[in-house]
Amino acid sequence: MNQILKHAKPQKSNSDITVGLPSSMMFYAHGELWEDFFSKLGCHVEKSGPTSREILNRGVSLCSSEVCMPVKVFTGHVDALAKRTDYVFIPRYISMGRHEMDCPKFCGLPDMVRINLHNKVNLMEVDIDFDKGTEKTKASLGSISNTLGIDYETVKNIFVNSVQNKLDTDMKVGSVEPGIKNMPSIAVLGHPYMIYDEMLSMGLISKLKQKNFQVLTPNSLTRNVRRSHLPIFKNRNFYELGSDILGSASAFLELPQVKGMIYLSPFACGIDSLVTEFIERHLHNTEKNMPFMKITVDEHTGEAGFDTRLEAFLDMIED
């Protein structure tokens, strides 16, 4: 927890306070929820916008070489917001549900950013830890209450209505094919901050649509559907995003219009090394001959080589 901000009082009204939301990492999954949360608290919300080469290069320069590319990009987004916002919000994702955990980089993301930016950015954070209940998460809202000078009960109620209830709804409803058309489709698997970031994904979704394929991602299914297709880790601890991807791959195998799967992964991702192995073994044990390709990218990946692999994969499907 940011001890400096824990007891801070705003020097201006909430309507004059600008909270920055980095358009990276879990912003692609929950960005709208957090924007709604801070807007209802009376703050102005500013997003950093799409990843640019400048943001990527800045993040690379600020982080050590051992840090994964998504964290480097996220750091670049925070740096872009630091000088034009009063606070930058970074949720500390620990667990999104029972028997689930998030990648360690999410658990320590606020601390990593502080170190990389030499404590020159004002951060607000909240602990998202739903494994054993919501008490820890709600207690962490106290720092936001103190920072903004808003009654704790007000902050808690807005959080429940703007964030928690919407996450709970996604876990309870949905069918296997919500809005999916009966047309040739490619399933694009991976973390949301990889497949939806146009720069990191090399525009993969747009390129597939230009080839007249319907593109399906884990977000094409509700969280309830993704979990219902995950018998291998039912009631056992596993990574939240890994569960999303594994369950999605299993669900997409049941759809006859899915002609192939592409897994987009950042270099040296430990979770992906496990998940891709499980998916490939599952594909080998099914009668459906599903083409599968994993593409690993980092800040040095060239688009020409990326496009060549994609064209070869699509040629195999069309043949």
Residues 183-212 pLDDT 10s: 999 999 999 999 999 999 999 999 999 999
Assess whether pLDDT exceeds 70 at residue 2.
no
Q: What is the mean pLDDT of the chain?
A: 89
List the domain range (segments joined by +) for residue 275.
185-318
Do 309 and 219 sit in the same domain of this protein?
yes
Predicted pLDDT at 149 = 93
Asked whether residue 11 is assigned to any structural domain, the reply reads yes
Q: Which residue has better confidence, 301 or 172?
A: 301
Do 202 and 263 sit in the same domain of this protein?
yes
As a whole number, mean pLDDT of residues 145-152 equals 94
Please state the separation of Cα 2 from the chain's center in Å: 23
Predicted pLDDT at 169 = 75
Residues 20-58 pLDDT 10s: 999 999 999 999 999 999 999 999 999 999 999 999 999
Supply the CATH number for residue 107's domain: 3.40.50.11890
Print burial letters for 36-68: b (CB count within 10 Å at least 16), e (below 16): bbbeebebebbebeebeeebbebbbebbeeebb
Asked whether residue 180 is assigned to any structural domain, the reply reads no
Do 222 and 114 sit in the same domain of this protein?
no
Residues 77-121 pLDDT 10s: 999 999 899 999 999 999 988 888 999 899 999 999 999 999 999
Domain termination residue (choose one: 138, 172, 206):
172
Find residue 214's DSSP bridge partners: 185
Predicted pLDDT at 175 = 55
Do 154 and 20 sit in the same domain of this protein?
yes
The full length of the chain comes to 319
Predicted pLDDT at 265 = 95
User: Which pTM does this prediction carry?
Assistant: 0.89
Interhelix angle 152-159/27-40, nearest 10 degrees: 140
The confidence band for 178, taking pLDDT boundaries of 50, 70 and 90, is low
Do 271 and 123 sit in the same domain of this protein?
no
Predicted pLDDT at 133 = 86
Dist. CA 192–CA 173, nearest whole Å: 20
Predicted pLDDT at 256 = 93
* Close Cβ partners of 189 (under 8 Å, ≥ 6 residues apart): 195, 217, 218, 245, 248, 249, 261, 262, 263, 264, 279
The confidence band for 6, taking pLDDT boundaries of 50, 70 and 90, is very low
Residues 210-221 pLDDT 10s: 999 999 999 998
Assess whether pLDDT exceeds 70 at residue 301.
yes
Dist. CA 254–CA 284, nearest whole Å: 15
The highest-confidence range among 92-101, 226-235, 259-268, by mean pLDDT, is 259-268
Number of structural domains in the chain: 2
* Close Cβ partners of 31 (under 8 Å, ≥ 6 residues apart): 21, 23, 47
